[in-house]
Structure 1
């Protein structure tokens, strides 16, 4: 039996994009495989969902009663539990159902909604079990994942990035798309981690990495309004990828009331 630290990657309601961050790590993943034992990672091959592990990565939100049972078992079998991506940390795009009547949506979409096993809400993993560390992003990237594993293997707490995307743009000498192009960019309230990919390509930030520390959503919403963005559109910018986390939830609701 291997004496390497054991790692598992579990999936809940999600698109699998964050799991691909592992697979896309390429050579770094091969190096990791020499240091740890991947005992469960369905997308990569190993299947042992009930294994006891040192580190469990969890992608996806809780959307069914079975999900609730499964995450409890994963927590019991894991020394460290790390959520990866917007779905696991904030409920994801599917958390938009939390702002409406989820059962009504099912009735409008399915001819026999009584056969659909779905909770009325989509909630992050931390609403159900203790989470030791969160990696934000939609999706996360390999650098985040590998960095977290290396820190834990050396007995250190993984570094949490709290800088705003605007600071990353400054570092990269990007021209501000909101100032120069009038684009409603979410960079002033969004944590960095992606490397400011969208602004670097002349596009506005969509807040994939969730709210940064001390996010002034009120001021940003007013700035969008000065750009002649409609209140409903401003609300949708906050109620997008990370609608299930504050302060984005409240900001989106505020602007939708003003439409």
Structure 2
């Protein structure tokens, strides 16, 4: 039997939701296992984190000194390193503590905070090691995972989706919730990938898939203000799931500065 490409799925600070994109493949995952060898995937069984692999998928952000050491080892052992999900690509929910007094939080929760080891800030993977491909989403979808594996096995990168959620709403003939209901929707600056899930249920987009191509965050911030949001509320829209993504981070900080003027 010919040697199959070796694949690993690593977890860092995260909720495991993006790893479920693999498990949710169902029978397709069994088919994939005939084409590639999953040498490390603790969520599904095999545990061999130090093995050399062709493709390493990484879920989660970096929040402890140990994780910082471990991601360097993962990078050294991988031909391709793929970050999956908002935590790995832009810090995720964990990075919210970068804008607060994390030491005060720890002291208020743990009886002996001196035993808690954490980095001063939470950061996405690409801030510390080279990343070959970023799959955005909270969580990513099974379709993204399959497309990435298929493309990388042929030695190319999959086509990146940069369309905005607004275009997905148009394709699905969804009524714009910002126009019809006055909801402060992040769709005009967020990349598609979710299938416009929230707007299809009459809810506003939360920006789960990160910034789209050329996001006009300034115009959207003004629109949010026109809908009655205070500057701090505008900041919270951008400084949320993908708060460390440069475009969202800058827009959030600008709105926060406006709240202090």
TMscore range, shorter length:
over 0.9
Match of 1:104 in 2: 104
The answer as to whether partners of 1:50 and 1:77 remain within 8 angstroms in 2 is yes
Offset of 1:2 from its aligned partner?
6.2
3-state SS, counterpart of residue 40 of structure 1: strand
Distance 2:34 2:233 in 1: 48
User: Could you give the per-residue CA deviations for residues 88-142 of structure 1, whole angstroms, max 9, x where no partner exists?
Assistant: 0001111111122322322233232111011111100001111000000000000
| Aligned positions of 1:8-23 closer than 5 A | 8-23=8-23
1:17-36 paired onto structure 2 within 5 Å: 17-36=17-36
Q: Deviations over 1:186-241 (max 9, x none)?
A: 00000001111111111100000001111111110110111111222111111110
SS of the equivalent of 1:247 reads helix
The 5 Å alignment of 1:1-259 reads 3-259=3-259
Moved over 6 A (4+): none
TM-score (norm 2): 0.96
Question: Structure 2: 5+ residue runs without aligned partners?
Answer: none
Provide the secondary structure at the position in 2 that maps to 1:205. coil
Provide Cα deviations, 1:130-173, integer angstroms capped at 9, x if missing partner.
10000000000000001000011122211111111011111111
Distance 1:2-1:76 versus aligned 2 partners, 3 A rule = farther
Partners of 1:2 and 1:37 within 8 A in 2: no
More displaced stretch, 12-21 vs 228-237: 228-237
Going from structure 1 to structure 2, the CA distance change for 1:179 and 1:34 (only over 3 Å counts) comes to same
Root mean square deviation, CA, Å = 1.1
Q: Deviations over 1:29-78 (max 9, x none)?
A: 11111100000000000111111100000000000000011001111110
- Distance in 2 (alpha carbons) for counterparts of 1:14 and 1:69: 17
Structure 1 runs not aligned, ≥5 long = none
User: What is the aligned length?
Assistant: 259
Aligned equivalents of 1:120, 1:170: Cα separation in 2: 43
Q: TM-score, normalised by structure 1?
A: 0.97
